Structure 1
Amino acid sequence: MSEGNAAAAPEALPESAQRVAGLLAGLGHDRPVVMLPATGKTSAEAAAGLGCSVAEIAKSILFRRLADDAPVLVIASGSNRVDEDKVAARVGALGKADARFVREKTGYAIGGVCPIGHRVEPLMLIDRDLFRYQSLWAAAGHPHAVFNLTPSQLQAMTGAEVADVAQDAQR
């Protein structure tokens, strides 16, 4: 973590990040929620603020399953584009999730969707490429809030299936 980022006292966090900090504490997670000085809405912005590689950002991408409007959350490496066909092959045909759908189903705004603590439990997949890294950063409920964890902790917290969800390089 770079010098400019410090763990914020829980009461100093935005309300949505306070909720995530509480969820993490309830899970026994010992790493704090960190506030970025600038937005972490994109993987590149978050990586620049944290001093890590874009690939170490565990970005949360929400889709809408067409059959039943169920939320489908894919947690992907920040350096990967999600292959919607690969995801659809596992969970069914997908549609785009607009900002209203994202907020309604997760309780978070786009750019701050956390892997845990959703209003509606999503079907969830984790990008297998994330397991190449010892340390990851995920959104903590707000576009400026993140937390650090290992790929194994991410899988344990979410119970999500680990899958190949990345577009092939030649695409």
Structure 2
Amino acid sequence: MPPTTHPAVELVTAALQEHGVEPRVRWLDDAVTTAQLAADALGVEVGQIANSLVFLLDDEAVLVLTSGAHRVDTDWLGARLGGTLGRAPKERVKDATGQVIGGVAPVGHPAPVRTFVDVALAQYDEVWAAAGVARTVFPTTFDELVRITRGTPTAVEPA
């Protein structure tokens, strides 16, 4: 039986509550470190998984919440954002979010992280995001993700 608490999950739960969201964290039996694994565990389309990816925009850590059906085109998105975009090393991910790769949530970070939300997530009534560790997820919506992260809706790859 999976645990029902973890410090990172507690921070995510508190952040959701602060934003007026009832936290409905779901603990899965196994870690779901890819969008496909998460979709399979939840019985949803891979596009409904909101991957939380940390990049460096020049030297600033930024969070890109992308549909599991997409890959972020770093050259294209970096140019749109006015800089160079590349994957953040695991140490920078942990520093920026307080969470480790595979379980990074959209909220619950030590300080605000500039966030971009893939507009492709808007086509789904419900999307699922990580809740602080790789065995946890929570349901949300595109609009709610934008609101609680103060994120900027954006395409993450060319149309």
TM norm structure 2: 0.92
Letter in 2 for 1:131: A
1:24 Cα offset (Å): 1.1
Distance in structure 2 (CA, Å) of the matches to 1:135 and 1:100: 31
Question: Across the two proteins, how many residue pairs are aligned to each other?
Answer: 158
Q: Is the 8 A contact 1:42 1:111 kept in 2?
A: yes
Max radius of gyration: which structure?
1
CA RMSD of aligned residues (A): 1.9
1:86 Cα offset (Å): 2.6
**Residue 33 of structure 1 is aligned with which of 25, 35, 38?**
25
SS of residue matched to 2:66: strand
Q: Which residue of 1 aligns with 2:91?
A: 100
Matches within 5 A, 1:17-166: 17-66=9-58, 69-89=59-79, 90-166=81-157
SS of residue matched to 1:141: coil
Residue range with higher mean Cα deviation, 134-143 or 29-38: 29-38
SS of residue matched to 2:14: helix
Letter in 1 for 2:54: L
SS of residue matched to 1:40: coil
1:95 Cα offset (Å): 2.8
Distance in structure 2 (CA, Å) of the matches to 1:80 and 1:105: 23
**Residue 13 of structure 1 is aligned with which of 5, 8, 26?**
5
Q: Deviations over 1:67-99 (max 9, x none)?
A: xx2101110000100011232121411232111
Distance in structure 2 (CA, Å) of the matches to 1:96 and 1:25: 30
Q: Is the 8 A contact 1:82 1:167 kept in 2?
A: no
Unaligned runs of 5+ in 1: none
1:123 Cα offset (Å): 2.2
Unaligned runs of 5+ in 2: none
1:32 Cα offset (Å): 1.1
Identity %: 34
Distance in structure 2 (CA, Å) of the matches to 1:88 and 1:109: 23
